[in-house]
Homo-oligomer: A and B are copies of this chain.
Amino acid sequence: MKISSEIQDSLELKFSRLAQQKNNEGEKMISLGLGEPGFQTPIAIIDAAEKAMRDGRTRYSDPLGIKSLREKIARKLNDENCINANADAILVSPGSKMALSLALGAILKPGDECIVMMPCYPSYLPQIKIAEPDAVIRQVNLDKENFKIDLEYLRSIICKKTRVILLNFPNNPTGRMLHSREFNDLCEVLSEHDMIIISDEIYEKLNHSGVPHLSFGSQSILKDRVITINGFSKAYSMTGWRIGYLHVPNKSILKITSRLQQHLNTNTATFIQHAALAALDLPNANIENYNKTLKENSSSLEYLVSKSPEVRMGSSEGGLFAFMNIKATGLTSDDFASRLLVEQGVALTPGVQFGQDWDDHVRVSLAIDNKNFQEGIARINKFLIRNREVK
């Protein structure tokens, strides 16, 4: 394929790796870099995977995924997300990242425009260019202070060529969720055009604010134009298992998505699909404890921000992250992250990795235990104070 400049190494890993390396060298590092939940995969899921392997669920499956899993996912989407989903419109993929790639590959044609809210997950732009090198990416910046969407601006850039809008709430990296009013206003804008809405809801269950999660696929006003993407990585700490899914109500898109799956992946590992079945049977209480950890960490970070004149932050409500404005430090995000790592042994992710215009932010992962997070915060505080003194 034509390899465009967007297709670079995923830099998100760089700082976490450096931190890991320093850790191995005996220095105590605190990694606030990666997007992995801090808890282990629940044992019931591991037990189910083991049983399936020993029962011989080690052969090819239906390319779309085993029927029982697709049925249970459809039920989940109906019950929890008010999406009128049918098992035959679900495709189980090796990761939700792959789910997005399959959808983009099936939809985008040369010259099509794809709208992306910035800052965004670092793989979105490369994924669009891998799916269609001649697609045009239209970036829409969220508001710098509160991460809201400028709906008038959005409306102004939607045109005949707009084929896809890619949405991700709870949002990585900002931690923003859409509140009901903003959600409805956005749906109205989206309903005025016939583009496909891809809604990546991978952080749905990581919600430490209590703001209800709203799914675009539930809105009849958007008809059958919403592709919902989700997975098991974040809600069940299954990042290394590589399993996600997409719901594609549009039959002609589903057909192409299914063909791409057949020729790229054959199917998702069969016994891992059986493990995912067990995941969907787990009570939500499992995740509620974890959300408490995220909430406490978020509050600690907010307290630090409130005390520190040179940082600001829109509030984090869901997902694993908070996105901190460091403009007043006078440092670029890469300098901030590099120096913080060297001087204080804390890894976080430079904002520039989530968009060119976001070099005045850094992303902080809330995903570690409170004690280590507190220490991380204390070190960031020291770093800010020293930086203030030097200035």
Contacts and interface: CB of A to CB of B under 8 A. Distances in A.
Interface of A: 1-3, 7-10, 13, 34, 36, 40-41, 46, 49-50, 53-54, 56-61, 63, 94-95, 97-98, 101, 105-106, 108-110, 123, 126-127, 130-132, 237-242, 256, 258-260, 262-272
Contact of A58 (B9, B41, B61, B270): B41
B260 A130 contact: yes
A40 B58 contact: yes
Contact of A263 (B40, B126, B268): B126
Given A10-B263, A36-B60, A58-B240, A256 B126 contact: no
Nearest to A105: B1
Contacts of A237: 58
B40 A56 contact: yes
A381 B261 CA distance: 37
A58 B238 contact: yes
Given A58-B237, A239-B59, A242-B269, A263 B50 contact: no
A2 B59 CA distance: 32
Given A98-B265, A109-B2, A262-B9, A54 B58 contact: no
A264 B101 contact: yes
A259 B7 contact: yes
Nearest to A243: B269
Given A9-B258, A60-B239, A242-B269, 15 more contacts: A1-B105, A1-B109, A1-B132, A2-B109, A2-B110, A7-B260, A7-B263, A9-B259, A10-B63, A41-B56, A57-B240, A95-B266, A97-B263, A101-B263, A126-B263
A265 B94 contact: yes
Chain A interface, DSSP helix/strand/loop, else mixed: loop
Contact of A240 (B97, B110, B270): B270
Given A2-B110, A41-B58, A265 B105 contact: no
A265 B95 contact: yes
A272 B243 CA distance: 13
A49 B9 CA distance: 29
Nearest to A240: B270
A359 to B, nearest CB: 22
Contacts of A271: 240-241
Contacts of A256: 3, 7
A259 B263 CA distance: 20
Nearest to A272: B269
Contacts of A106: 3
A388 B84 CA distance: 54
A127 B1 CA distance: 12
A40 B59 CA distance: 9
Contacts of A132: 1
Contacts of A13: 63
Given A1-B108, A266-B242, A34 B60 contact: yes
Given A101-B264, A266-B242, A36 B59 contact: yes
Contacts of A2: 109-110
Contacts of A46: 53-54, 58
Contacts of A265: 94-95, 97-98, 242
A292 B2 CA distance: 46
A105 B7 CA distance: 12
Q: What are the 7 A-B residue pairs with the smallest beta carbon separation, nearest first?
A: A240-B270, A10-B262, A126-B263, A59-B240, A41-B58, A58-B240, A242-B269
